Amino acid sequence: VGLSEPDCGSADGLTANVTPAGRGDAFVYLNGPVPFDSGSYVCVAQGGSNSTFQALVTMPKPVPRDQQGVVLGTWTEDGRERMAITAAMNANQFQFQVLFPGILSWLTRGVHLGTERNYYSVQVDDVFLADDRWQCKDPAACTDPARTILMKPEDVDELIKWQDRNNMQLELAFNAGGCKYPTEAGQPALCEALTKNWSAFSWVNHTYDHPNLDQVVEGEDPPLRESIAGQIQLNIEFAKTYSNPRHFSAKELVTGQHSGLKRVPLKEDKGLDDDNEFLIKTLDSQKISWISSDNSRDSEQHAIGEGTKTVPRYPMNIFYNVERMSEETDQYNWAYTSADDGGKGVCQPNCIPKLNLTDGFQTYIVPTEARTALQHVLANSPRPHYVHQPNLTGDRIIYPVLDAILSKYNLVFASNAELLHPNMSEFGEELQNQKQWGKLSGVRATVAAGKLTITGSVSANVPLTLPSTAQNTGSLKPYAGSLTGWCAPGELEKIQL
């Protein structure tokens, strides 16, 4: 390659930088800085004798760290352009997820089957209802005597401000029964604050009263509120009394605890072998298109009944029954530390050291949960995340996590690769496209004389990425410096490269 003898070592805590040449070509979707995960190993070299070598990504040498060198670059030899990468990376590391689209774009000259998007949407469950408070294992962690947790009107104001500040709407999964049949002292005031600002939010049907549908067996003619159909209908009717939400669709549904759906059992409980037949009948009669499932227990989209498909959601480790940083830390310790440290011990042999109640949330939980979410974001995974309404009150513990995710993303990615926030229906359609495409075999794409040709039996929409200069690209849209998306088979023959 013509580079100097490299200096090799750990890249923990180091940040690479995409050069102007890299940002002007394959890495046009990046701002420049690329932080490396812990556990990274690199060999950093200086420029050498090869006049054709072009540095695309540089970073400080492991020793001494005050000198910059190359970890990724290209050179020309015998009429071929080649790429050298001197960092060891795996598919789960942040730097690989960030750099891979550019490597693929360079390799294919921007023309390949496949599409790339960075998605991050968050749904907030149990809106209008109170949740039971976590009973702390360490009494010092829980200082509020109230048995339940419910948002307050001032939390609604803060949510609106956060959404406006970050240009991101959270989707509120609501249970209108909390407004019509209040059991908590603060519910009427909360209902007034949220419904008064109905148009500021996106909304998702979470059933009227949040019943568990795992074992529901309906009689001949159950009262409306006690039927599955009534739980769906009453919530829809409530939503229709308010106008112009950011998004609301009667075709979307989130059941309480994802109940009524088959799911893989966890260590501490049992899953369902199949979907509840009464739920299936109701989904068909109500013409529900999309129903959420828990990605940790049912990660692939599957059909339910005649016209409904699941949309798996990622659960965030911000627990449903906490509003304080100390409460979250106490429950985190219970879940992820050994029995010797006071935890339940199911994490062994991969337990973490016990976190300090004072700063464990900020120093460990926030960066850990932000990193996990960003792995999903950068894995081209069209699935929403979800939290619960207690996380928006008290210490409002979801915001530090969201802020950490957004700030790191915006630091690394350019404005042409904005973080996308699809609604539930859009996620469902993307998953459906991916699944239908994945069933095909024997499909081949070729490029000759500026024309794209796909052969084989193409009975599904085709995921396609093209240079921004391509013409007649139909439904493809600009993203990350390319034109990308899903093409109907009939659109392909019109494309000009």
CA distances from 128 to 71, 186, 404 (A): 52, 10, 27
Task: Report yes or no: 98 and 80 within 8 Å, Cβ to Cβ.
Answer: no
Q: 182-192 pLDDT, tens per residue?
A: 999 999 999 99
- Dihedral class, residue 376 (left if φ above 0, else alpha if ψ from -120 to 50, else beta): alpha
Residue 463 host element (H or E):
strand 462-467
At 54 the pLDDT is 92
Model confidence band, residue 80 (pLDDT cutoffs 50, 70, 90): very high
Q: Kindly report the CA angle at 211 between 205 and 213, in degrees rounded to 5?
A: 95
- As a whole number, the mean pLDDT across the chain is 94
Residue 274 pLDDT: 87
Q: Do 449 and 277 meet the contact criterion of CB atoms below 8 Å apart?
A: no
Q: Tell me, what's the pLDDT at 5?
A: 87
Mean pLDDT to the nearest integer, 133-146: 94
- Which is more confident, 284 or 266? 284
Q: Answer yes or no: is pLDDT of 428 > 70.
A: yes
Q: Mean pLDDT throughout 87-116?
A: 94
pLDDT level of residue 268 (50, 70, 90 thresholds): low
Enclosing H/E stretch for 180: helix 177-180
HSE-up of 417 (CA within 13 Å, CB side)?
A: 27
User: What is the pLDDT confidence band of residue 66, given thresholds at 50, 70 and 90?
Assistant: confident
DSSP run (H or E) holding 204: strand 202-205
Highest mean pLDDT among 78-87, 304-313, 437-446: 304-313
Instruction: Tell which wins on pLDDT, 24 or 270.
Output: 24
CB-CB neighbours of 385 under 10 Å: 23
Q: How confident is the model at residue 421 (pLDDT cuts 50, 70, 90)?
A: very high
Report the C-alpha gap between 10 and 295 in whole angstroms.
34
pLDDT digits 0-9 by tens, 217-238: 777 678 889 899 999 999 999 9
pLDDT (tens digit per residue) in 301-349: 999 999 999 999 999 999 999 999 999 999 999 999 999 999 999 998 8
Per-residue model confidence (pLDDT) at position 423: 98
Q: Read off the pLDDT of each residue in 391-415 and give the average, rounded to a whole number.
A: 98
Nearest to 426 by CA among 217, 117, 187, 112: 117
Distance between CA atoms of residues 492 and 497, nearest Å: 11
Q: Residue 50: left (phi > 0), alpha (psi -120 to 50), or beta? A: beta
Query: What does pTM read for this prediction?
Result: 0.95
Of 212-226, 264-278, 310-324, 467-481, which gets the smallest average pLDDT?
264-278
